[in-house]
Amino acid sequence: MNRDVFITCAVTGSGATTSRSDKVPITPAQIADACVEAARAGAAIAHVHVRDPATGAGSRDPALYREVVARVRESGVDVVLNLTAGMGGDMVFGPPERPLPLDPARTDMVGAQARLVHVAELLPEICTLDCGTMNFAESDYVMTNTPGMLRAMAARIKAAGVRPEIEVFDFGHLVLAKELVREGLVEAPVMVQLCMGIPYGAPDDPGTLMALVNAVPAGWTYSAFSIGRMQLPYVAMAALAGGNVRVGLEDNLWLSKGVPATNGALVERAAAILSAMGASVLGPAAVRERLKLARRW
């Protein structure tokens, strides 16, 4: 069991959740407020996507990231910012009998530099690196991250002095992560997020989680989370498995049956679970020391 645990709060994501809960932040001001709320509740890290304020859809507009980061930094509340670099790898095929051309309204495929414009400009302490391609349970959508794309992105992230959080959705993603480390594209200390229960990735049963945990090299720092009603049980599961935890409205909209969640309430619940287990919840300063993060503000 890990007795010194840090909490990441994924405050909004990019999925179609805004119609299902009015608690999901959309505008830069709302997203920044959610980061601050999560930090005050005990989260050391805030994982940030941005959304088009007019539509609520996921976006990769650097101006939106710029406003979120500025607002969080001006708040005076200390939190490690982890900006997603996952946007720009979305491929949506046509129907099964006519997969091409791709759906132009929902496909967003850009190069490594374009996916990292906001990271290069804002220099967060952490950004994500989704380490593989995967089918999601969304008709003809494919999360697309080729080995060549990931190597190019990893090299740019390393050159910027930003710590990548490698997001692992299945076993092959962890194999590729190890190759990136061996090739010197990702430097120690290595940070991995085990993303469980997302169709059609690694299921969130204990056996699968422990198989992944047992494949994580010694010395790597890892977190684990699941989605929906398994998010809060996974707080205990991740700590028992030796890892850190992630909660937030990106992955789960409910605090309990029929009770809509907020990011702050999910972090508070996670902290209470960890405290009841005898674990300490680490703050941002301890996380920076553990992960050797380069704070620039």
Domain annotation for the chain: domains and CATH numbers: 4-291 (3.20.20.70)
The strand ranges marked E within 53-172 are: 58-59, 80-83, 89-92, 108-109, 126-130, 134-135, 141-143, 163-168
Cα dist. 180→48, 90, 143, 221 in Å? 24, 22, 19, 16
Average pLDDT, the chain: 96
* pLDDT for 136: 84
172-195: average pLDDT: 98
255-276: average pLDDT: 97
Q: Got the DSSP string for 146-197?
A: -HHHHHHHHHHHHHHTPEEEEEESSHHHHHHHHHHHHTTSSPSSPEEEEE-S
- Residue 38 pLDDT more than 90? yes
**3 state SS of 246:** strand
Phi (first) and psi of residue 44, to 5 degrees: -85, -30
- Residue 268 pLDDT more than 90? yes
Reported as a pLDDT band with limits 50, 70 and 90, residue 46 is very high
* pLDDT for 59: 96
- Residue 294 pLDDT more than 90? no
- Residue 295 pLDDT more than 90? no
- Residue 125 pLDDT more than 90? yes
40-50: average pLDDT: 98
257-276: average pLDDT: 97
Share of the chain above pLDDT 90, in %: 96
2-8: average pLDDT: 98
Tens digit of each residue's pLDDT (9 = 90 or more) over 191-250: 999 999 999 999 999 999 999 999 999 999 999 999 999 999 999 999 999 999 999 999
* pLDDT for 191: 98
Tens digit of each residue's pLDDT (9 = 90 or more) over 92-101: 999 999 999 9
Share of the chain above pLDDT 70, in %: 100
Tens digit of each residue's pLDDT (9 = 90 or more) over 133-164: 999 877 899 999 999 999 999 999 999 999 99
Between CA 1 and CA 234 the distance in angstroms is 13
> What is the value of pTM for the model shown?
0.96
* pLDDT for 296: 72
Per 3-state DSSP, the chain is made up of helix, strand and coil in percentages (nearest 5) of 35, 20, 45
30-55: average pLDDT: 98
